[in-house]
């Protein structure tokens, strides 16, 4: 069985990344097994969020212990909170042939690219700054000060767009989900994946 592919997806908050990933998972025409990694974070739980579904919400002390135990494949400080990806979960999923989506920031993406150069990264951009601002306001989860801080951070995040393999613009939801599916399908058709998957067939075809 061939290994799953690790996809990194980054975007400034308010770009609609979580909805898009959910849209992708719900999409009936998705051909491959996909799981979204659930990160650990030290940030405060927001209304509507669930421990174990959106994040594993842990204390700073617990996070430090996990760093010491080398439990994270990557971790980073984002908006003064820590976020990290569990190493064991990712490795188990990939070995079982399942694709994994990591919803992480550019700092985490850099660490994963270094450790797992075969991973593929996607940067999601909003169609305009105005729409990004509107989406952040509509979430109704953050204060004006936090929104202003997030807008500023959005530019910091977007400055890293060129480090990614793919760019998707989240203007039209359906189109963006389709773009993600196209990327997944194309990556499964690349030489490395196909050679692993059709190893026996290819050997037979090349026999003289």
Contacting residues toward ligand 5GP, per CB under 6 A: 13, 39, 43, 74, 76, 78, 83-85, 103-105, 107-108
CB-nearer residue toward ligand 5GP: 54 or 197: 54
State the minimum distance, in angstroms, from the CB of residue 149 to ligand 5GP: 12
CB-nearer residue toward ligand 5GP: 108 or 126: 108
State the minimum distance, in angstroms, from the CB of residue 77 to ligand 5GP: 9
11 is in an annotated binding site: yes
Helices (H), ranges, the chain:
17-26, 60-68, 87-95, 106-115, 129-138, 144-158, 173-188, 191-197, 199-206
12 is in an annotated binding site: yes
Q: Which of 191, 206, 2, 24 is nearest to 101 (CA)?
A: 24
State the minimum distance, in angstroms, from the CB of residue 106 to ligand 5GP: 8
Cβ proximity of 196 and 46 under 8 Å: no
What are the contacts of 130-139 at 24+ separation with CB within 8 A? 132/12, 132/14, 132/15, 133/14, 135/14, 135/15, 135/16, 136/13, 136/14, 139/14
15 is in an annotated binding site: yes
186 is in an annotated binding site: no
CB-nearer residue toward ligand 5GP: 99 or 157: 157
CB-nearer residue toward ligand 5GP: 79 or 198: 79
Q: Which two tokens stand for residue 200?
A: 């026996």
Query: Rounded CA gap, 53 and 77, in Å?
Result: 21
The owner of tokens 């850099």 is: 110
Query: Looking at beta carbons, which residue is closest to ligand 5GP?
Result: 108
4 is in an annotated binding site: no
State the minimum distance, in angstroms, from the CB of residue 156 to ligand 5GP: 11
Binding annotation for ATP: 11-18
């Amino acid at each position: 069985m061939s290994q799953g592919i690790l996809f990194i997806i980054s975007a400034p908050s308010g770009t609609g990344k979580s909805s898009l990933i959910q849209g992708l998972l719900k999409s009936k025409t998705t051909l491959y097994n996909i799981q979204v990694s659930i990160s650990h974070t030290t940030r405060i739980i927001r209304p509507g969020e669930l421990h174990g579904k959106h994040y594993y919400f842990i204390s700073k002390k617990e996070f430090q212990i996990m760093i010491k135990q080398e439990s994270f494949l990557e971790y980073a400080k984002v908006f003064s909170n820590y976020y990290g990806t569990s190493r064991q979960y990712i490795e188990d999923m990939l070995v079982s042939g399942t694709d994994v989506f990591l919803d992480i920031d550019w700092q985490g993406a850099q660490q994963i690219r270094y450790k797992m150069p075969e991973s593929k990264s996607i940067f999601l951009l909003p169609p305009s700054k105005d729409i990004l601002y509107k989406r952040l306001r509509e979430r109704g989860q953050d204060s004006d000060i936090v929104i202003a801080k997030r807008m500023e951070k959005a530019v910091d995040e977007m400055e890293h767009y060129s480090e990614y393999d793919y760019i998707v613009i989240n203007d039209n939801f359906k189109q963006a989900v389709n773009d993600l599916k196209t990327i997944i399908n194309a990556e499964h058709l690349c030489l490395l994946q196909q050679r692993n998957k059709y190893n026996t067939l290819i050997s037979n075809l090349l026999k003289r």
